[in-house]
């Protein structure tokens, strides 16, 4: 893969899929319904720090569910595998991301990528008060991104005012002793992490950091201990695209995570990170253009993890 070939591919895919208007904006968080449906950007950052981008890649959007990937890494780093696994499983659900459901037997949420699991993971963040917990979390995100970042306050307020399903899940988990009593603090922290403002380049840098054993390719900063990269990538490989995860694994064959504001993070282990932003979503909450572009990038560059030839196939 030569640099010129990568840039030409991104330009071509942007031209090809810009006219695709299928899908709808997420409206259950009122602030997200105000997004520009035309926004569309693609960015690739390689593990050795080359950057390729096309479209309105400076447009800020909220990270939403993609934050769950990184907060899961933080929980592993702060508590270790055993404690985290005791609270949240690693099993794909086949249900929607916001399903109010726990594992019947263990009472754990199924995995850290559905909302229930993510809220339980967020509740594990260490710190003596909400300010300290947020500081730990935001500095973790900044290690991946490589610069300072802020919360989009209107989105935070919008989600906090309307997040009744998430509150219901938190109460259910409290009932079963899976999270502690400070559920309002945990929910606020969760709504804050989801409202973090990033652009498409940030997204690709975060993906590239995961592809590079947790080390940011531009700053050299270790964002998460490298021993937890395998945990993060295997969970997003099986659970990152929700009830589309099987088809995604079959067609694209790469660990990935989507968010309802239209972001899509794709990791090519050892090689590169891909960020795509386009807010029109399919019925499972995945970006329509994001899925199409990922399928083509994987196919054109032969990136499917189980493609023995690593060559284009039809
Ligand atoms: O909790 C929620 O519903 C949102 N803050 C995040 C959901 C999300 O991004 C699901 N992804 N496709």
Q: Three-state secondary structure along the chain?
A: CCHHHHHHHHHHHHHHHCCCCCCECCCCCHHHHHCCCCCCEEEEEECCCCEEEEECCCCCEECHHHHHHHHHHHHHHHHCHHHHHHHCCCCCCCCCCCCCCCCCCCCCCCCCCCHHHHHHHHCCCCCCCHHHHHHHHHHHHHHHHCCCCCECHHHHHHHHHHCHHHHHHHHHHHHCCCCCCCHHHHHHHHHHHHCEEECHHHHHHHHHHHHCCCECCCCCCECCCHHHHHHHHHHHHHHCCHHHHHHHHHHCCCCEEECCCCEEEEEECCCEEEEEECCCECCCCCEHHHHHHHHHHHHHHCCCCCCCCCCCCC
Position 4 scores a pLDDT of 87
- pLDDT tens-digit series, residues 97-124: 999 999 989 999 999 999 999 999 999 9
Look at residue 143 and tell me if it is in a domain: yes
| Same domain as 182, residue 275 | no
| Same domain as 136, residue 75 | yes
| Same domain as 273, residue 211 | yes
Cα 3 to averaged position of ligand 1 atoms, centre (Å) = 34
Position 212 scores a pLDDT of 98
| Same domain as 69, residue 189 | yes
Look at residue 46 and tell me if it is in a domain: yes
| Same domain as 205, residue 188 | no
Per-residue pLDDT at 279 exceeds 50? yes
| Same domain as 269, residue 212 | yes
224 closest CA partner among 64, 72, 111, 68 = 72
Does the annotation mark 106 as catalytic? no
Look at residue 312 and tell me if it is in a domain: no
Q: Which of 45, 260, 267, 268 is catalytic?
A: 260
Which residue among 259, 278, 282, 286 has the greatest number of ligand 1 atoms within 8 angstroms of its CB, and so is best to mutate? Answer: 259
Measure CA 302 to chain center: 23
Cα 74 to averaged position of ligand 1 atoms, centre (Å) = 19
Residue closest by Cα to atom 4 of ligand 1: 64
**With contact defined as beta carbons under 8 Å apart, do 113 and 68 qualify?**
yes
| Same domain as 186, residue 80 | yes
Banded model confidence at residue 304, pLDDT cuts 50, 70, 90: very high
Give ligand 1 pocket residues (Cβ under 6 A).
Answer: 64-65, 97-98, 115, 159, 166, 194, 258-260, 285
Position 309 scores a pLDDT of 67
| Same domain as 84, residue 49 | no
Per-residue pLDDT at 53 exceeds 60? yes
Cα 240 to averaged position of ligand 1 atoms, centre (Å) = 12
Per-residue pLDDT at 78 exceeds 50? yes
Sort strands 263-268 and 272-277 into parallel, antiparallel or unpaired: antiparallel
Banded model confidence at residue 310, pLDDT cuts 50, 70, 90: low
What residues pair up with 275 in beta bridges, in sequence order? 43, 265
User: Global pTM?
Assistant: 0.96
Q: For 250-255, what is the mean pLDDT? A: 98
Using the structure block, give the residue that is written with the tokens 């009472």.
Answer: 107
If one compares 181 and 263, the residue with the highest pLDDT of the two is: 263
Residue closest by Cα to atom 7 of ligand 1: 65
Q: For 82-88, what is the mean pLDDT? A: 97
Per-residue pLDDT at 283 exceeds 50? yes
Per-residue pLDDT at 147 exceeds 50? yes
Position 3 scores a pLDDT of 84
Look at residue 314 and tell me if it is in a domain: no
Look at residue 209 and tell me if it is in a domain: yes
Per-residue pLDDT at 268 exceeds 90? yes
Look at residue 309 and tell me if it is in a domain: no
Q: Residue 37, Cβ neighbours under 10 Å: how many?
A: 13
Per-residue pLDDT at 267 exceeds 70? yes
Does the annotation mark 68 as catalytic? yes
CATH number at 74 reads 3.40.710.10
Using the structure block, give the residue that is written with the tokens 């290690």.
Answer: 143
Q: For 305-313, what is the mean pLDDT? A: 70
The phi and psi torsions of 263 (rounded to 5 degrees) equal -80, 150
Atom number of ligand 1 nearest to Cα 261: 9
Cα 312 to averaged position of ligand 1 atoms, centre (Å) = 33
Least confident of 188-192, 240-244, 248-252: 240-244
Share of the chain above pLDDT 90, in %: 92
Does the annotation mark 260 as catalytic? yes
| Same domain as 98, residue 186 | yes
Q: Which of 169, 194, 219 is the last residue of a domain?
A: 194
Q: For 299-304, what is the mean pLDDT? A: 96
Position 95 scores a pLDDT of 87
Count of domains observed in the chain: 2
Position 146 scores a pLDDT of 98
Does the annotation mark 65 as catalytic? yes
Cα 115 to averaged position of ligand 1 atoms, centre (Å) = 7
Mean predicted lDDT score pLDDT of the chain: 95
What residues make up the domain containing 168?
65-194
Q: Which of 166, 194, 222 is the last residue of a domain?
A: 194
Atom number of ligand 1 nearest to Cα 285: 12
Which residue among 97, 156, 158, 163 has the greatest number of ligand 1 atoms within 8 angstroms of its CB, and so is best to mutate? Answer: 97
Per-residue pLDDT at 33 exceeds 50? yes
Residue closest by Cα to atom 11 of ligand 1: 259
| Same domain as 189, residue 75 | yes
Measure CA 30 to chain center: 20
């Amino acid at each position: 893969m030569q640099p010129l070939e990568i840039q030409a591919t991104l330009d071509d895919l942007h031209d090809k899929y810009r006219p695709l208007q299928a899908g709808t904006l997420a409206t259950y968080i009122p602030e997200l319904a105000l997004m520009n449906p035309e926004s569309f950007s693609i960015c690739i950052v390689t593990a050795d720090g080359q950057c390729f981008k096309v479209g309105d890649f400076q447009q800020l959007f909220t990270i939403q569910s993609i934050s769950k990937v990184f907060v899961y890494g933080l929980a592993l780093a702060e508590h270790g595998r055993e404690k985290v696994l005791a609270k949240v499983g690693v099993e794909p659900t086949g249900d929607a991301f916001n399903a109010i459901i726990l594992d019947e037997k263990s009472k754990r949420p199924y995995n850290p990528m559905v909302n229930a699991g993510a809220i339980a993971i967020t509740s594990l963040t260490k710190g003596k008060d909400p300010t300290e917990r947020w500081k730990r979390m935001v500095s973790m995100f900044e290690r991946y991104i490589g610069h300072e970042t802020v919360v989009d306050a209107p989105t935070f307020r919008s989600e906090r005012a309307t997040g009744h399903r998430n509150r219901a899940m938190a109460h259910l988990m409290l009932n079963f002793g899976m999270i502690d009593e400070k559920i309002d603090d945990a929910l606020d922290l969760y709504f804050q992490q989801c409202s973090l403002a990033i652009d498409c380049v940030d997204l690709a840098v975060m993906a590239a950091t995961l592809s590079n054993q947790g080390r940011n390719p531009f700053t050299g900063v270790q964002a998460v201990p490298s021993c937890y990269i395998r945990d993060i990538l295997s969970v997003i490989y099986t659970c990152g695209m929700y009830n589309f995860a099987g088809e995604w694994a079959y067609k694209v064959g790469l660990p990935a995570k989507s968010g309802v504001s239209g972001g899509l993070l794709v990791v090519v282990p050892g090689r590169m990170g891909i960020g795509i932003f386009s807010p029109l979503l399919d019925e499972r909450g995945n970006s329509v253009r994001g899925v199409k572009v990922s399928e083509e990038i994987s196919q054109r560059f032969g990136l499917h993890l189980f493609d023995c030839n690593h060559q284009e196939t039809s």
